[in-house]
Structure 1
C-alpha cells in the first residue's frame, strides 16, 4: 500500500472506481460499507455517507458526496460524517460537490438516487442485525413532491392528516392510500409508486391495497375500515390561508478565517472577483447556505470552514430545512453563480494574452497602426484531456488493473500500461502508453511492451502506442494523468527477486520510511512529486520539496521557487496526507531536526535552474523522387505509431 494512503480510511480505498452509488454507515466511530441490497436502509439514529459517481462518455468522472444525518444521530457521529465526507473528497482529488442532508429535508438530487422513495427506519444501524419478531407495526406516512417524493413517518393519529398531501397507512394486511383533495395528480401518482414499493419490500409483494378519496365517506367498505382505524370519522380541519410571505433577504457573503471565525463582507453587490483562491467563504441565502472553498486552500482550512458553517446554522436557530452545500472553486453550481453579478461565462484570458493587448495599446497610442495577426490553427486539433483512464501494473505475464485512487502513483521499479480514451472526430480515440520505470527489470520491460502490443492489435479503433521512460515523459502524458507521484522501489515479483539476489535494500515506501519528494509541474492539473534520495544534496533552490518522517511532515520552499510552485506544493500535501498539517520550512531557516532527518546538512544547487526545452515530436515522411531523397516534416497524426 502506498505511503500516501496510510491515513485514508480503509473503507475508501476503492471509492469512486466504478460508476453508481456507494453507501457507508458510521458504526462505533468506524465506516461500514453497505451492500447494494442495504442502500435504502437508513436508520434514524445513524449517520451515512453516500457517493454518486457518474462516468460520462466524454469528460472526466463527476462525483457528488452527501452525508445524511438521521433525526436521532449523535453529535459525535454527525461531526465524523462531515470529516469523512471531506476526506473522501480529498481522496478523489478535491473535485466533488458535497451536500449535508437532514432526515426529512433531503435535497431532490439525493432522493433521486432512491426512487421511488427513501423511508428511514427507527433505531440505530448495527452490522449484526438479527431477525425481529413480534406484532406488525402500523405506520402512517406523508408523501410530498411531484418529481421526487419526500416520505416522512408521522404520528398515527387523525390530526396528522390534511387536505394538501398524500398519506399512506401501512397495516399488516392492507395498505391505504389517502389523497388530500388539494393534492396534485403527480403527487397521487408518486404515492401509488410508494405503495408499490412498500408492498414489495415489507409485504413480499402480497398485500391488499385500498385508495381513499378525501371527502368521500359512503358507499365503500374500505373507507369505513380506514376511518375505523382512527376511531371513527371526523372532519379534517382546513388550514387557515397562508399569510403573504415576505421577500427573502438578499444573499450575504462572509469570509471564514483560519480559526473558523465568520467575518461579514460589507458589500451589497457580489462579484466573482471577491472570491480569492486561498480563502473560504460562506454565502447565506436564508434557506440555503453555500460554503465556497478556493483551490489553494488546505484540507484543514476546509474542515474548519465546514464546522463553522454547521455551527452558524445551529447557533442562529435556522430552520431544519436549511440546506448546506460545499463547493470547490471551479465546480460552482448555477444557483450559486446566480447570486453574483456578471459571473464570467468564459475562461479568463491568460497572462500573455493580457500582455499582448497592453503592448498593442501602447503602440496605438504612439501613432502606429497595429494589426493583430490571426492565431495559427493546427490541422490536427489537440486531444481532449477530459477522457477516461485505465492503468495496469505489469508483473511478468500478469497484468493488475489498478483502482482509480492508484492511477497516479507509480513506482520506479515497475512498469505500467496506461490506456486513455477520449472523444475524437465522430468516434472515440485511444492512446496506449507503456511507462517503464528507471529501475525496472528487463523481464517486466519486455512484458510491458508485449502486453501493450497485444492490446493495440486487439483494439478496433486504430490506437496510438507510445513507449516512454521515466524522466523522459512527454507533456501530453502529464496532462492526461494530471497528478503524478513517482515512488522509489517496486511491487512486481521480478523487482523483488532482483533486489533480493543483489542484496539491495528495498526502498519501496512504508509508513516508517523517511522519504523526500521534489514537487514540479505547471498547474494543479499538471503536477508531479518525484521521490529523490533523502539527503541534503538532493535539494535545489529552484524547487519545493516534501519531506516525510515517522514523526512529522515538512514542506521545504526554495528561495528561487515561484508562487506557482508554492500552490502546487500545497495541493500535493493534500494528496500525501489530507489529515496531517505539515511544518513549513523556508530555505535558510531550517530547524536542526530538519537536517537531522536528511542525515546532516550538505551543499546543494542554489542557482536558478534553466528548464530544458523539449521539442514536440515530429513525424517525417520519406519521399524519393528521381534519385533524390528528402524528409518532409508533417504533423503528428493519431493514426501513427510514436516512440518517445
Structure 2
C-alpha cells in the first residue's frame, strides 16, 4: 500500500489546534462547503454520488464508471437513503484510498469528507475504505467492484487503444451474490483453473475460462467486456472467449502474457488483540491512551470523550455526545495514525456519534 506506508506521520504537537472543532471552525467549514461547486445537489435525493480527488480538487466521477476505481486515486462516495415509512434522508459517506494514492490525495479526500459531513449537519456516518479491504457495506453498492491501475493522469480515456498498456483481470466469485473483477499481475502464473480471466489489449480482448470456473463468473466476465471495456474503445475492439481445456499452448492469449514469477504477498500474521483507546483533551492537549485490550466492555465508553475501538477486523471511532470539539474533530485522524502502526493498517474505519448514529451490529457484538 504505497500511498499509506510512505505517508508522513502527523505531528500534533506542532499543529495549530486552537480552533479545530470549535464553533468558528465549523462555520468556516460550513461556508467552505456551501461554496464548493462539487457539493451542489449532494445528498438532496436518494442514490449514490461519487467524486474523485484530482490535484486537490473534488471532481464528479462519471456515472458510467461507478464501481470502477483507479488504484492511484482517492474518491468520496455518498450514499443517500431512506428507511421504510420514514421520509428523512440518511447518509453514509466513504472516502476510498487506492493503494498507490498519495498522502496529499487521501488527505484531501478525508478533509473533504468531513466538509461534506458538516454540510449535511453531521448526519452522515463516515467511513474510511482502503483498496482490497473494503467493507461489506461499501461493496454492496456495486454489482462489480473493478480496480484498475493508474490514476487521474493516466486514465484509459486519455490513451489511444492502439497504444494501450495490456492488463489482466481476474473475475472471481467471492460469495453467493458477489463477483469481483480485479486487475492482477500481468503474468501467466496469475491464472488458475477456478476463475475467469480477461486479457485486455485495447483492441483485442480475451476471456479465458478456467476449467473449474462457474457459470456466474463466465456471465460476469462477458457482461464486463460488453458493458465496460468495449464501449470505451469506440466499438473498435474485438473479443474472443477461450476455454482452458481446449485452448492450444501457442494461442495468442498465452503468447501475450509473460511467464514471470508472482510477486509474493508480504502480509504478516496478525496476532493482535482487540483494543480500545481513549482520546481526551486535557488542558488543551490531546492524550491518546489504552483503555482495554482483549475483552472490550461498553461500560468503558464515556460520553465526554472519543474512543477508537479496534476489533482487528474493523475499527470504530465512537464519539461521545459530550465529547470536546477537538476530540470529535481529530478522532478519525488518530484512528488512521494508530492503524498505520498496527498489523492490520488497512481495515475499514467507521465513525459513530453517540445519540446521532445507529451503531452497527458488528460493533455492539464486539462489546461485552
SS in 2 for 1:335: helix
Contact kept? 1:169, 1:176, Cα under 8 Å: yes
Which among 239, 247, 251 is matched to residue 274 of structure 2?
Answer: 251
Which among 210, 227, 232 is matched to residue 197 of structure 1?
Answer: 227
SS in 2 for 1:309: helix
User: What is the TM-score normalised by the length of structure 1?
Assistant: 0.45
- 30-39 vs 13-22, greater mean Cα deviation: 30-39
SS in 1 for 2:72: coil
- 69-78 vs 173-182, greater mean Cα deviation: 173-182
SS in 2 for 1:257: strand
Which among 330, 348, 354 is matched to residue 323 of structure 1?
Answer: 348
- 327-336 vs 170-179, greater mean Cα deviation: 170-179
Relative contact order higher in (CA < 8 Å, ≥ 6 apart): 2
Where do 1:96-245 residues align within 5 Å? 96-120=124-148, 122-124=150-152, 131-133=158-160, 134-144=162-172, 145-146=174-175, 147-181=177-211, 183-204=213-234, 207-214=237-244, 216=245, 218=246, 220=247, 224-230=251-257
Please report how far the alpha carbon of residue 311 of structure 1 lies from its aligned counterpart in structure 2 after TM superposition: 0.9
- Alignment partner, residue 72 of structure 1: 100
- Alignment partner, residue 340 of structure 2: 314
**How many residues align structurally?**
326
Contact kept? 2:304, 2:320, Cα under 8 Å: yes
Where do 1:459-608 residues align within 5 Å? none
Please report how far the alpha carbon of residue 231 of structure 1 lies from its aligned counterpart in structure 2 after TM superposition: 6.1
Distance, in Å, in 2 between the alignment partners of 1:248 and 1:184 is 34
Please report how far the alpha carbon of residue 204 of structure 1 lies from its aligned counterpart in structure 2 after TM superposition: 4.2
Distance, in Å, in 1 between the alignment partners of 2:252 and 2:304 is 64
SS in 1 for 2:164: coil
Query: Structure 1 residues 205, 110: CA separation in 2 closer, same or farther (over 3 Å shift)?
Result: farther
SS in 2 for 1:16: coil
Q: Which runs of 5+ in 2 are unaligned?
A: 1-26
Query: Structure 1 residues 280, 105: CA separation in 2 closer, same or farther (over 3 Å shift)?
Result: same
Distance, in Å, in 1 between the alignment partners of 2:342 and 2:272 is 15
Larger radius of gyration: 1
- Alignment partner, residue 10 of structure 1: 35
- Alignment partner, residue 382 of structure 1: none
- Alignment partner, residue 336 of structure 1: 363
Where do 1:381-392 residues align within 5 Å? none
- Alignment partner, residue 73 of structure 2: 46
Distance, in Å, in 2 between the alignment partners of 1:139 and 1:90 is 40
SS in 2 for 1:270: coil
- 257-266 vs 32-41, greater mean Cα deviation: 32-41
Distance, in Å, in 2 between the alignment partners of 1:15 and 1:57 is 22
User: What is the TM-score normalised by the length of structure 2?
Assistant: 0.74
Please report how far the alpha carbon of residue 319 of structure 1 lies from its aligned counterpart in structure 2 after TM superposition: 5.1
Contact kept? 1:177, 1:210, Cα under 8 Å: yes
- Alignment partner, residue 318 of structure 2: 292
SS in 2 for 1:66: strand
Query: Structure 1 residues 331, 90: CA separation in 2 closer, same or farther (over 3 Å shift)?
Result: farther
Distance, in Å, in 2 between the alignment partners of 1:211 and 1:223 is 16
Please report how far the alpha carbon of residue 170 of structure 1 lies from its aligned counterpart in structure 2 after TM superposition: 1.3
Please report how far the alpha carbon of residue 87 of structure 1 lies from its aligned counterpart in structure 2 after TM superposition: 2.4
Please report how far the alpha carbon of residue 119 of structure 1 lies from its aligned counterpart in structure 2 after TM superposition: 3.6
Distance, in Å, in 2 between the alignment partners of 1:68 and 1:231 is 32
